[in-house]
Homo-oligomer: A and B are copies of this chain.
Amino acid sequence: MASIPKIYTIQEVESVISEPQFAPELINAIQEGFVAYSRGQFNAAPIQTMGAPPMAPFVNVENYCAQTCVKSGYITGGTHYVIKVASGGYPHPNGGLMQLYSQQTGKFEMLLLDDGLLTELRTAAVGAVAARMLAPNLSDKAACIGMIGTGTQARYQLQYLAYVTDCRKVRVWGRTEQNITKFIKDMASEGWNISAVESPQHLLQSPDDDWYCPLIVTTTSSRVPLLQLIEDNRRKRPLHITCIGSDSTGKLELDPKLVASADLLVADSRIQTKERGEFEDAIKQDLVSLEQVMELGELALNQDSWRTSDNDSRLTIFDSSGVAVQDCIIASMFAQRVNTKSGMNDE
């Protein structure tokens, strides 16, 4: 254990993850990871959160809320166990690193100073997995991807969705004009046909036949619902919503009544969605039961239960709150790639 781990800087990490086959391989690997997770083959240690109540703040200054989470785990029979150290909160930018240790030898093999980049990508990958399984009608001429949120994760979501659909039309809503303008400009330069909508609800209501969003992806840190139930049942076409943003207690992006109206609720982790996911409020209000929620890994195993045709008008919702198995998958994939490239064989 005492040997020096190989260290990868953010520049080296960026170079590996930009290789052409990285993203599509990651999408498949993340799907397999969730199958292992739902089969009980992922071993997650309790999360260590420092700097947040009930612990003392790191620095006793008003508004200071920097904190650090340590997430550790491993896949049964996998190559590595992974320790991820993620930090964020005012006044520091979000950051993070991943550590890989051999399950065979216990040796600290690699330190990835990725600054949270791998977390962004493994989150983008799960959005692509869910869209591939559940989003209907994306090949429809009028189809658009509806984006709620214009931050870094929104960008990665689109980049990764490009691997699972040919749809290149996007409608976006954001909190400020400035954010929206910048997002549209940046995404247009990456080849997306993109324009803004007035409100999140417009994405649901499909105001004309020229565009229609069969897939909506939310990536905000909202604490109030951004999408409401359409009471008069005007939504006649199928829809899938992927919720990325709500990942801690109190955050939500969907009206609990909209959640309750869904035909299929899917979560990355059933246990987490109850505590800090998008379905938290609907469950607390007894509008849905936790037993109704299917896990992504279960869905991947049970292909019969997927959307059967593009003509069904069902609403499906996927909630991602982020699971350590994703960290384990992306870190192990990174390790395999750099080891293969360097001709290394650690056996």
A1 touches B45 (CB 8 A): no
Q: How many residues of A contact B (CB 8 A)?
A: 48
A278 at the interface (CB under 8 A from B): no
* Stretch in contact with the other chain, from A17-25, A27-35, A79-87, A312-320: A79-87
Copies of this chain in the oligomer: 2
B2 touches A113 (CB 8 A): yes
A108 touches B104 (CB 8 A): no
A2-B114, A83-B85, A113-B2 are contacts. A70–B48 as well, Cβ < 8 Å?
A: yes
Selected contact of A70 from candidates B45, B68, B95, B105, CB within 8 Å: B45
A48 touches B50 (CB 8 A): no
A48-B45, A50-B45 are contacts. A113–B7 as well, Cβ < 8 Å?
A: no
Residues of B within 8 A of A4 (CB): 7, 9, 113
Most B C-beta atoms less than 10 A away, residue of A66, A83, A106, A108:
A106
A70 touches B70 (CB 8 A): yes
Residues of B within 8 A of A97 (CB): 1-2, 108
Q: Distance in Å from the Cβ of A99 to the closest Cβ of chain B? A: 8
A3 at the interface (CB under 8 A from B): yes
A54's closest neighbor in chain B, by CB? B43
B106 touches A92 (CB 8 A): yes
Q: What sequence of 0s and 1s flags, for each residue 71-84 of chain A, a beta carbon within 8 Å of any chain B beta carbon? A: 01110110001010
Residues of B within 8 A of A51 (CB): 81, 103
Q: Which A100-136 residues have a C-beta within 8 angstroms of B?
A: 101, 103-106, 108, 111, 113-115
Residues of B within 8 A of A104 (CB): 58-59
A56 at the interface (CB under 8 A from B): yes
Residues of B within 8 A of A77 (CB): 56, 60
